[in-house]
Chain A
Amino acid sequence: MDLSLNIGSLRLKNPLIAASGCFGYGVEYADIVDLSTLGGVAVKGLFLSEREGHPPPRIVETPSGMLNAIGLQGIGVHRFIREKLPELRERRAVVIVNICGTTLDEYVEVARILSDAAGVAALELNISCPNIKEGGITFGCSLTGTHAVVSAVRKVTRLPVIPKLTPNVTDVASFARAAEEAGADAVSLVNTFLAMAIDVRTRRPRLSNIVGGLSGPAIRPIAVRMVYECRNTVKLPIIGMGGIATVDDVLEFMIAGANAVQVGTANFVDPFIWSRLLDGLRRYMRDEKIARLQDLVGTVDTTAREQAWISS
């Protein structure tokens, strides 16, 4: 049974990746999850320097989902390399570092620093966090901005470059194409949906930041549709995410066109989810007689539905 896949020069042993922002720096989970069994670990977004993020309340639960506005609290790239990366290497984690910037130069600088650090497997470009005002999503919401960040980072690193796309645009596939043209090795999608919740008694927003990003099973069908649209548009490997909580959810994303997936919110509910998902993938491959899991990618069969519609 072959569950592996390639992203640029990087080989992942399976398609299950811990989603950035949902797995701390990985080390928080090292005692309860064998990090080396994951396809990859996408660590919390890093700027050049430390950031305190937003004041609490930072999360609120919504139907089948959660709304968050953490605000990219983080220890900065230098402390990450000094304090977290050695343990991640020791645990043989495939480390995908999610990088952030308020300016183009900051993305480039963070990418350059990480490219010189031993133990970083790939860079995920956070151009899609809905919770910070400057940089980030402003690049991710403009085709020229997306192209500019990806090509600038591309020039300073040999590591696989994976821009993480926002769903808060009209046509996410055009952003995947812009990323592909700029030299990305893969795209990951979707980040959270910009959303809001209000306490009707106090009439105050439930988050200190007023608005936040929606994740969890509530968003899954929209994310699946967006992965499907991107699969029809680009050749790049796609890392799909958005509300994955069961092995069927993983399979749905892969059939829609994802080569790999990230799991975020569900890891909060069940930090032991990884072995269950892996077992489930193996069981499905055995039952469906699939030797190579990548053969499943993008195999959604839409023909019958189209014909039925035409003949009706």
Chain B
Amino acid sequence: MAQVYTRDMPVDIDATVMGNRRLSADYNVLAIDAPEIASRARPGQFVMMKTSRGLDPLLRRPFSIFEILRDDGGAPRGVSLLNKRVGGGTSLLYQAESGARLACLGPLGRPFEPVDPPAEAWMVAGGVGLAPFLTLAEALHARATPTMLFYGARHAGELYCVDRFETLGVRVVLATEDGSRGAHGRVTAPLESALSRRPLGEPLKLYVCGPTAMMRACAALAASHGRACDVSLEQVMGCGLGGCYSCVVLARDDSGRPHHTRTCIDGPVFEASRIVWDAVDAH
């Protein structure tokens, strides 16, 4: 049964870029001044960014809120986005300079539900799928929930902000496809052995975000090991508010019937067992 989530009213801010930290030739962390969004955001929520002021690109793009930025007094001041340059809009966000203004609508979407101890939280991230987990890790840290992060990327140069998680007491397990750091291969391999070692009597919940193939594999592992699993899905979105029906995913309702379900307002966080994975486009 899906938990009832009552959304806060999103706000649209003509937000100033406070900083742009380029992590590599493709990845950057963009800090934007948006206190009204930062103070309402919950782990796993997203914003819709207008990446240009004109007609190209025309539509907004969804981004997970990567960090809640706070001022010296600890008050929410802004949000940051983990951006990977893949197309026109994300290239503009990669290039954005401090002082630039970008329309930012949010917070949007169904957030993660952090588990409480003694249950453990195991986060599984692939590539830019790391984005929603820093805010979740903070929420779990505040609850004193024992937390792990299984984090995979193509190579060592694409593993970011690991120390940020470690500072929050998260035990981090890394994997790279070329073996340049952590386990050699997919992150699902160390996840599977960890799941196999964990006694069933010790409760645990998985939180997964990454490429479709990885999320599908994690959903299958969670099911075979009898563990709860939430996934954060990324789909092409037109509006982020439920108006356009572009971002649907085939998900089962409470009676088990599959429906095209809007990722923007019924997600982006879904119970993995509800998703009809064969119908999810690989990307």
**Given A32, A55, A70, which contacts B245 in the complex, CB threshold below 8 Å?**
A70
B101 beta carbon closer than 8 Å to chain A: no
| Complex contacts, A65 vs chain B, CB 8 Å | 58
A-B contacts at CB below 8 angstroms, number: 94
Which residues between 242 and 290 of chain A lie within 8 Å of chain B, taking CB atoms?
265, 267-272
Q: A57-B281, A73-B248 are in contact. Are A52 and B243 (CB under 8 A)?
A: no
A66 and B56 contacting across the interface, CB-CB below 8 Å: no
B39 beta carbon closer than 8 Å to chain A: no
A61 beta carbon closer than 8 Å to chain B: yes
Count of chain A residues with Cβ under 8 Å from any Cβ of B? 34
State the CA gap A63–B56 with chains docked (Å): 7
B58 and A66 contacting across the interface, CB-CB below 8 Å: yes
Min CB distance A93 to B, Å, is 14
State the CA gap A21–B239 with chains docked (Å): 12
A28 beta carbon closer than 8 Å to chain B: yes
Which residues between 53 and 103 of chain A lie within 8 Å of chain B, taking CB atoms?
53, 55-61, 63-66, 68, 70, 73
Min CB distance A250 to B, Å, is 17
**Chain A 1-40 interface mask (CB, 8 Å, partner B; 1/0):** 0000000000000000000011110001101100000000
Min CB distance B67 to A, Å, is 25
Chain A residue at minimal CB-CB distance from B263: A56
Q: Binding site of A, secondary structure by majority: helix, strand, loop or mixed?
A: loop
State the CA gap A263–B237 with chains docked (Å): 18
B9 and A268 contacting across the interface, CB-CB below 8 Å: no
Q: A24-B243, A68-B246, A271-B241 are in contact. Are A56 and B57 (CB under 8 A)?
A: no
A58 and B243 contacting across the interface, CB-CB below 8 Å: no
A31 and B9 contacting across the interface, CB-CB below 8 Å: yes
B1 beta carbon closer than 8 Å to chain A: no
B55 and A272 contacting across the interface, CB-CB below 8 Å: no
Min CB distance B21 to A, Å, is 27
Q: A61-B59, A64-B55 are in contact. Are A22 and B9 (CB under 8 A)?
A: no
A56 and B235 contacting across the interface, CB-CB below 8 Å: yes
| Complex contacts, A145 vs chain B, CB 8 Å | none
State the CA gap A269–B238 with chains docked (Å): 8
B239 and A57 contacting across the interface, CB-CB below 8 Å: no
B260 and A52 contacting across the interface, CB-CB below 8 Å: yes
A217 and B246 contacting across the interface, CB-CB below 8 Å: no
Q: A31-B9, A32-B10, A269-B50 are in contact. Are A53 and B245 (CB under 8 A)?
A: yes
Q: A28-B265, A56-B248, A56-B281 are in contact. Are A73 and B260 (CB under 8 A)?
A: yes
| Complex contacts, A164 vs chain B, CB 8 Å | none
**Chain B 230-266 interface mask (CB, 8 Å, partner A; 1/0):** 0000011011011111111110000000011000010
5 contacts between A and B (CB under 8 A): A22-B244, A44-B245, A53-B260, A61-B57, A68-B238
7 nearest CB pairs, A to B: A28-B242, A268-B239, A59-B246, A64-B55, A24-B243, A268-B238, A58-B246
Extra contacts besides A56-B249, A57-B281, A59-B236 (8): CB < 8 Å: A24-B244, A61-B58, A63-B56, A70-B246, A73-B248, A217-B58, A271-B239, A271-B243
